[in-house]
Structure formats: structure tokens, C-alpha cells
């Protein structure tokens, strides 16, 4: 069993309200879990944003907002029209491009490949996302991410089903997490898209960097909003996740960010530990 320091891109910001004696290993594992979920959510957001932009632009890449604002990546489509499907879309970060977000540097490299069955705005359209030597701040991302546009549900929210197969995030040599997941995103839309809200439910399972198995259940929907202070990117502002570890029992990860401040509380056996979610490289010992 491997016990080492895994690279995660959170910077711990301790609060005077930290209580109890949760072990450093449990804290590091909980941070890993929150980080891996945030990574795949970030990639979902990127894919949906690019597909929506492409759909609105009739799948022509010329003049795309994403390629004209210095994000450092290019988008190509094998059939730049509205009639030929499936399409193969490539988001290429090359040897690496860096953006600064909320004071943190985010470097991405490699490619994200997306196959889409129909226009993304059409109900039952399916997109399948895979990765070609793709890294996010030094962490290698692998797996197959499938998203399906289920159309509007009974609450008049756009419902997107997401499934992850063979998910793997490698932090460093022999330090990796695996994940399979099934989630539903309910997208409450407003006339002004900046006011939209996403509610995420579902579960995941896999193994952590110590080789221990885990099950992850969202017990209170994760709520995502556009945060003005974060350049209107999506951010989790509330929600609870229960993580049951094969060797360590149960922990609760609660997002409590008031006004998008990114606060996360880890709770185990009545003890709590609070830190601030940040996209910054850090090393945690397990």
C-alpha cells in the first residue's frame, strides 16, 4: 500500500473555528476527494460552455469567444456545419497554457476530445469526452466522461446526466485516485444567464491514494452559481457529501461558501476542520 505525499491544488487556510482532532491523513484524503470532484466538474463546465458556443455559432470556430480572449487553447471541429453528426471536437492546450484565476495560476496541457451525437441544444444529444495526455496543474486526467441532454424536467430545469468511467487522476509517481461516477445536473435558467443555478446530485466510488476503497454520496445537492468575484465562473456555494472509506469510516464534506468564498468544512466523529478551496498547487501528506 502506497503512503506518500499527493499533489493537490488546494491551499489550506485554517480558521479560528477549526475544532477537534481529525487526523492529517483523513484531512488530506478529504481534500483529495473534493479536489478530484472539482476537477471533473471544471471539465464538464468547459465542455458545456464550448459546445453551447459552437452550437450558437453553427459549429464554425472562427471568431469563437473562447479563442479570442487569450485563454491559450484552440478548438477544432471535423465537420463545421449544422447537419453532419456525429462530430469530433478537439480542445487543444498544446504544451501548456496558463491563466490566472482568483490569484491562482492554472496550467493546462494536452487535449480534450469530444464526440457529440447531435446539436447540444437537442434533447437526447450525447457528448463523450476523453483525454489525450491532458494535465491540470500537473495532475494527469484520464477516463471517459459521458453527458446526455435529458431535456426539461418537471421543474422546468434542463437536466444533464453525467457518467464517468475509468476515471483516474494521477498526482505524482504512484499517487493516484480512481473514480466511477453517476450524477444529474439540474440547470435552473433565467433570462440573464449570469443568474443561472445548477443543482448536482448523485454518487461515486473508487480508490484513494492509499489504495483504500470509498463510496461517495451527495446527501444535500451541490449548488453552483456564477460568482462575480471569480470572474463569473461557476462555484459551489452549498451542499453536503458523505464519503465512506473502507478503512477509515465516514466523513462529511460540506461546502459552506458564503458569497462564493469557497469555505469547505470536513467533519468526522463530531470534529470539524475548515479550509478554503483554492486552485493552487500544494502537497499533502497522507
Give the DSSP letter string of 50-96: HHHHHHHTTT--TT-HHHHTT---EEEESS-SSS--SEEEEEE-TT-
pLDDT, average across residues 55-68: 72
Cα–Cα dist 204/215, whole Å: 6
- pLDDT computed for residue 116 by the predictor: 97
What share of the chain has pLDDT > 70, as a percent? Answer: 85
- pLDDT computed for residue 284 by the predictor: 55
Range of weakest confidence among 133-142, 156-165, 166-175? 166-175
Range of weakest confidence among 1-15, 46-60, 143-157? 1-15
Please answer whether residues 206 and 182 qualify as being in contact, where contact means their C-beta atoms are separated by less than 8 angstroms: no
pLDDT, average across residues 89-102: 88
Total structural domains within the chain: 1
Quick one: pLDDT band at residue 125, thresholds 50, 70, 90?
A: very high
- pLDDT computed for residue 4 by the predictor: 33
145 has a pLDDT exceeding 60? yes
What share of the chain has pLDDT > 90, as a percent? Answer: 66
- pLDDT computed for residue 135 by the predictor: 96
- pLDDT computed for residue 228 by the predictor: 78
Cα–Cα dist 44/16, whole Å: 34
CA dist 177 → 156, 159, 209, 237, 243 (Å) = 36, 28, 5, 25, 14
Q: Considering the entire predicted model, what is its pTM?
A: 0.87
Cα–Cα dist 226/148, whole Å: 22
211 has a pLDDT exceeding 50? yes
283 has a pLDDT exceeding 90? no
Range of weakest confidence among 130-134, 236-240, 273-277? 273-277
- pLDDT computed for residue 70 by the predictor: 57
Quick one: pLDDT band at residue 31, thresholds 50, 70, 90?
A: very high
- pLDDT computed for residue 84 by the predictor: 96
Containing domain of residue 135, as a range? Answer: 5-285
Amino acid at each position: 500500500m502506497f503512503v506518500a505525499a499527493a499533489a493537490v491544488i488546494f491551499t489550506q487556510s485554517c480558521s479560528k473555528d477549526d475544532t477537534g482532532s481529525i487526523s492529517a491523513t483523513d484531512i488530506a484524503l478529504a481534500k483529495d476527494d473534493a479536489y478530484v470532484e472539482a476537477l471533473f466538474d471544471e471539465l464538464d463546465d468547459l465542455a458545456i460552455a464550448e459546445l453551447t458556443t459552437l452550437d450558437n455559432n453553427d459549429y464554425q470556430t472562427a471568431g469563437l469567444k473562447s479563442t479570442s480572449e487569450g485563454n491559450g487553447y484552440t478548438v477544432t471541429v471535423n465537420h463545421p456545419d449544422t447537419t453532419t453528426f456525429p462530430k469530433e471536437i478537439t480542445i487543444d492546450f498544446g504544451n501548456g497554457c496558463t491563466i490566472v484565476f482568483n490569484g491562482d495560476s492554472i496550467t493546462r496541457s494536452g487535449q480534450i476530445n469530444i464526440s457529440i451525437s447531435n446539436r447540444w441544444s437537442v434533447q437526447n444529444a450525447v457528448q463523450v469526452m476523453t483525454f489525450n495526455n491532458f494535465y491540470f496543474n500537473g495532475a494527469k486526467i484520464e477516463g471517459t466522461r459521458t453527458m446526455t441532454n435529458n431535456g426539461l424536467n418537471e421543474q422546468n430545469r434542463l437536466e444533464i446526466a453525467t457518467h464517468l468511467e475509468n476515471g483516474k487522476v494521477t498526482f505524482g509517481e504512484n499517487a493516484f485516485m480512481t473514480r466511477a461516477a453517476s450524477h444529474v445536473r439540474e440547470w435552473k435558467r433565467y433570462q440573464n444567464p449570469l443568474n443561472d443555478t445548477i443543482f448536482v446530485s448523485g454518487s461515486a466510488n473508487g480508490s484513494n491514494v492509499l489504495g483504500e476503497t470509498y463510496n461517495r454520496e451527495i446527501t444535500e445537492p451541490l449548488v453552483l452559481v456564477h460568482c462575480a468575484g471569480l470572474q463569473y465562473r461557476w462555484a459551489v456555494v452549498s451542499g453536503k457529501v458523505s464519503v465512506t472509506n473502507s478503512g477509515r469510516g465516514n466523513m462529511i464534506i460540506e461546502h459552506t461558501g458564503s458569497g462564493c468564498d469557497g469555505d469547505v468544512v470536513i467533519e468526522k466523529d463530531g470534529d470539524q476542520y475548515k479550509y478554503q478551496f483554492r486552485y493552487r498547487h500544494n502537497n499533502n501528506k497522507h
